[in-house]
Amino acid sequence: MTSSPDPQSATLFLDPAQPLADRVADLVGRMTLEEKLGQLVFNAPAIPRLGIPAYNWWGEALHGIARNGRATVFPQAIGMAATWDPALIEQVASAISDEGRAKYHATLRRYGETGHYQGLTFWSPNINIFRDPRWGRGQETWGEDPFLTGAMGAAFVRGLQGDDPRYLKSAACAKHYAVHSGPESKRHEFNAEVSARDLHTTYLPAFKKLVTEAKVEAVMGAYNRTNGEACCASELLLVDILRGAWGFGGHVVSDCWALNDLHTTHGVTADGAESAALAVKRGCDLECGQTFEHLGEALDRGLLSEGDIDRAVTRIYTTRFKLGMFDPQEMVPYASIPESVINS
């Protein structure tokens, strides 16, 4: 299906005076099916005819943005957790997002586009529970306590996203959802078997707090299965709990190449088309990986509908609009953060 711009409303999605939902719907409605499919991957291509620049969603900010060059590097999360000081952690995250904003706009001014690690979407914080000290990524977490993890993670999200009523300073992402605490070597095939009590008292409270209180913009699905369901396509985690019980309104992104695991190691689907379709239908809106390349085949096979695609594209573009990417920069308060904050 193709869409043609209406001459009478050719710039509706660029009009900041229009409601956010209307602007997003207008833009998505102008995209061809092929264009929409292309936007559901982390390295989304430009759509020149609509004036949409390419965008790479992959950014990291666990304790700074040094993957994007010179930046202030703070202690690892496990060290910052030892402060027991959420107010301090919010200040740390605010400094990180200040630098992210300054770098983003400086790069746009110089080169007209941004690349890998240069955007405003940060796949942080890691709020997994660090139960076993043998797990090699425990230093990224806030420790073994769900309450402290939730308090620190929520503060980090508030600092990253800012407090402007209209615009996000950056988009934070709570990861890895859920029951992802090692073993690292088995993460692509591991099935975490957990009781309902342990799930809801240990592994989910921090995610719930970040979603319902801190209003985190994104959630990343984990590599593993939880009680037999692949986390990036879990009806329980994504449909029943995240969007149903908690009312999450942001977007869900897969961990990198996790969707390939659905058919290669987890065995919950037969092939790439089934994996892509199941993930989208369950609410995974954006992929870090290449399995969504099979979405066209999945549509041809009737495994999902264009409406499913539209829902995912709408969710991710809502985030881009909230970041001010389609508004005059003078309207976006964070666009004026100077480069002098970098590594300061």
**pLDDT tens digits for 83-100?**
999 999 999 999 999 999
Rounded to whole angstroms, how far apart are CA atoms 68 and 104?
10
Look at the pTM and tell me if it is higher than 0.75.
Answer: yes
Output the average pLDDT for the chain. 96
Q: Which tokens in the block code for residue 70? A: 């010179």
The answer to whether 26 is a known catalytic residue is: no
Q: Is the pLDDT of residue 66 over 90?
A: yes
Distances (CA, A) of 40 to 68, 194, 275, 308: 23, 31, 14, 12
Residues 157-179 have pLDDT tens digits of 999 999 999 999 999 999 999 99
**One-letter amino acid for residue 50 of the chain:** L
Is residue 184 helix, strand or coil?
helix
* Catalytic member of 255, 261, 285, 308: 255
Whether 223 and 178 have beta carbons less than 8 Å apart is answered as: no
Residue type at 26 in one-letter notation: D
Residue 316 host element (H or E): helix 306-322
Supply 295's token pair. 């979405």
Cis check for the bond before 180: say yes or no (omega within 30 of 0). Answer: no
Laid out side by side, the sheet with 218-221 consists of 173-177, 218-221, 251-254
SS3 call for 47: strand
Q: What count of residues does the chain have? A: 344
Decide: 114 and 104 in contact? Cβ < 8 Å.
Answer: yes
Residue 3 has pLDDT above 60, yes or no: no
Sheet holding 225-226, edge to edge: 191-192, 225-226, 229-230
- Does residue 259 contact residue 288 with C-beta atoms inside 8 Å? no
Residue tagged 């870090």 (tokens): 288
> Which residue type is seen at 227?
N
Mean pLDDT of the 321-340 span:
98
- Both tokens of 199, joined, read 């799930």
Which residues, in sequence order, are CB contacts of 196 under 8 Å at separation 6+?
none
- Give the percent of the chain with pLDDT over 90: 94
Q: Which residues pair with 192 in a beta bridge?
A: 226
pLDDT score at 153: 99
| Whether residue 2 has pLDDT greater than 80 | no
pLDDT in tens, 217-257: 999 999 999 999 999 999 999 999 999 999 999 999 999 99
Euclidean distance between CA atoms 167 and 132, whole angstroms: 38
Q: What is the pLDDT of residue 183?
A: 84
pLDDT tens-digit profile of 255-297? 999 999 999 999 999 999 999 999 999 999 999 999 999 999 9
Residue 47 CB partners (closer than 8 Å, separation 6+) = 31, 35, 38, 39
- Report d(CA 179, CA 67) in Å as an integer: 27
Q: Reply yes or no on whether the pLDDT at 121 is more than 50.
A: yes
Q: Residue 118 is encoded by which pair of tokens?
A: 């240069």
Give tens-digit pLDDT for 7-47.
Answer: 334 689 999 999 999 999 999 999 999 999 999 999 999 99
116-125, 176-185, 219-228: segment of lowest average pLDDT: 176-185
| Amino acid, single-letter form, for residue 22 | D
Per-residue confidence (pLDDT) for residue 10, from 0 to 100: 64
Q: Which of 135, 134, 159 is nearest to 80 (CA)?
A: 159
Alpha carbons 127 and 89: distance in angstroms, whole number:
14
Q: CA-CA distance, 134 to 123, in Å (whole number)?
A: 23
The predicted structure's pLDDT at residue 7: 38
42-335 CATH choice from 3.20.20.300, 3.40.50.2300, 3.40.50.300, 3.20.20.70: 3.20.20.300
Instruction: Report which DSSP code applies to 176.
Output: E
The pLDDT tens digits for 75-85 are: 999 999 999 99
